[in-house]
A and B are shown apart, each in its own frame.
Chain A
Amino acid sequence: MELLTSNHSGYPRIGDSSDEQMLRRAVAQHDVDEGSDAEVRAAEDHLILLAIKEQRISGLDIVTDGLIRWNDPASHLAGKLQGVRINGLLRFFDTNFYFRQPVVRGKIERVGPLVVNEFVWAAKKSRQPVKPVVTGPCTLGHLSICEVGSVTKGDLIMAFAEALAAEVAELAAAGARLIQVDEPALLKYPADMTLAREALTLIASRKGEAELALATYFGDAAPVYAELQALPVDTLVLDFTYSSELPSVIQSEGSTKRLAFGVLDGRNTRPEDEDATARLVERMLAQAKSERNYLTTSCSLEYLPRDRAQAKLQRLTSLKKSLLGKAL
């Protein structure tokens, strides 16, 4: 059985050193009309290269671009869609991170790439495979306000799904082998599961040869695990920090999909007990039928300071070694 380490999604776009604060300075200058778009772009490029390097040095098998260019998971994608404008700040689920809320005012249409160009750029710069990430249709639907009278929440989610399906098709065509759809909203609004199935069916139909991963986090996946297993995706990325039951559920129900075990807490600096974590994953792996699975963090690493984020990645590598040492 193959066990790969993967960055979940985001990575800190700042650190304590002057070099790591280049993007903050560039954006601040830009905000007061003293810096250009090109300077911000160059700073983003620099921070992405740093993020990729730190992931590689930490020993990861699969990296991301750290979502460094994203202001937040909602506006970065929805803001590029026709029919959507971006409004005020709102808390992102139960974090102390805030996103700008999309307001849907007309027909949602994808008029250009959302993250494809970012993926292509990062993939060229990385020795490791790069995983592109998109925010899922249910999450975008729930984080948005809809001002179009006759549009239901279901319509809205399917409209986002159509745009994302086109994006996933282009990502796959651009060479993405593993594409992650982030759906934290699914655990907060489990009643959306039927809608999610419909939306993901549409997205999966455009994925080509790529592996499609669904990431749920910021909630307990145990009560909906069976429904998640029935969704049309290849891989489930799971957050284990909200649920003491999830490992037992996986042990008893197994998995027909690849699993990404988000066993290291992406929201807290406390280092996990490596032996206990290894034992936990080992028990679940025994029931997973897939030939390949992943080790990752519970969510994006953007919620941690840079040094602690890198420490979590190093711990993933160490956890993998520990598990491989037990002859996986």
Chain B
Amino acid sequence: MTHLTRRSFVGAAALLAAPALIRPSFAADPVKLGCLFSSSGTMANLEGRLNHVVRMAADEINGRGGVNGRQIEVLTSDPASDWPLYAQVGRQMLQQEKVAALFGCWTSVSRKSVLPVVEQNDGLLFYPLHFEGDENSKNVVYMNSPPASSVLPAVDYLMGPEGVGAKRFFMIGSDYVWPRTINKQLKGYWKSKGIPETAWREEYVPFGFSNFQTLVNQVRSFASQPGGQAIVVLTVVGSSIPDFLREFANQGVTATDVPILGLDMVEADLEGLDTAKLVGHLNCWAYLQAAKGERNKKFLGDWAAYVKAKNVPFSADTVIDPMVSAYDSVHLWALAAAKAGSFAVPEVRQAFANLSFDDPSGYTLTMTGENNYVSRGVFIGSVNEKRGFDVLWQSADAPKPVPFSPYG
């Protein structure tokens, strides 16, 4: 009974959240794609956008005549930021709706819960977030970068002469697999550079935590101790990010005193904040809204037009990396399906080798036959007054992803 109630509740919530749940299909026999992004709970503000961007990409492809002669139909759901529910909804999509591919998950804990489901059903999950690596499933396409091509370049930058010559590190994360694994790898990395263990501190908070006074006090006293420049490596997620930033600024700490490297911090987290006091804090992603180039301009214009046309309840002027990654993943899937001439997962997977796609970031995404990782460019962004990020540094080209970290 519980099972049924819960499921019908999800359906009801999804209906309420997205009035146009299922678009009317106009091809006789459309191919279905499923989305696993929450529109309620702590991740709603971030994940909710990805449903719409997947639809936008599908609309683009449908406008060109679809894939293999068939139109795409996008199914959305609401796993309500409840990690086991992602697996449940994912199983339903694969077994009942027979979706050709899943696009979903933000936190690694939700991906880990969907992983056995896609492996048992030989499905395909496109995961649009940069993450901790150390995983290589043939059923997951890792659209974004593992630490070696996102976190480590940013930490290197901060430790180097161009950054602040950081010597000491205060790690604050939400208490789950992504922050803990990232921090473990960072500690291994610092050890390999001969940095003593006394130079870092590690603190974790529960999901949705918002009372950061004590932690900011601790950061300030950590930073005032001798031993070199301190930085904060922030791996909290969801609504904890703006709450931490607000407390940090209110206690009068600026980026030039103690810079924050916000690994999950995106443009959307700055909505609602007065960023004048936060200027200079950093993030690192495979795409920033400030990326130069015509492709980005076109994407931003398309999104704004889409928001307007479909009355999407999100900002038309804010585009974040996972949105672009989700958009890329639909296109990559379509390219692979077209190349394979089939929607069957094994054949689509075969077609990933040597696939490439020019995405809005300005880099060319490529895949090899070795694994399901996608090579992406690296951006380091710096918070500006207008609740956005300026591009502080970007890699010359897209590095080859390293799935397993040697540091932890």
A and B assemble together: no
Residues of B at the A interface (CB closer than 8 Å) are: none
Residues of A at the B interface (CB closer than 8 Å) are: none
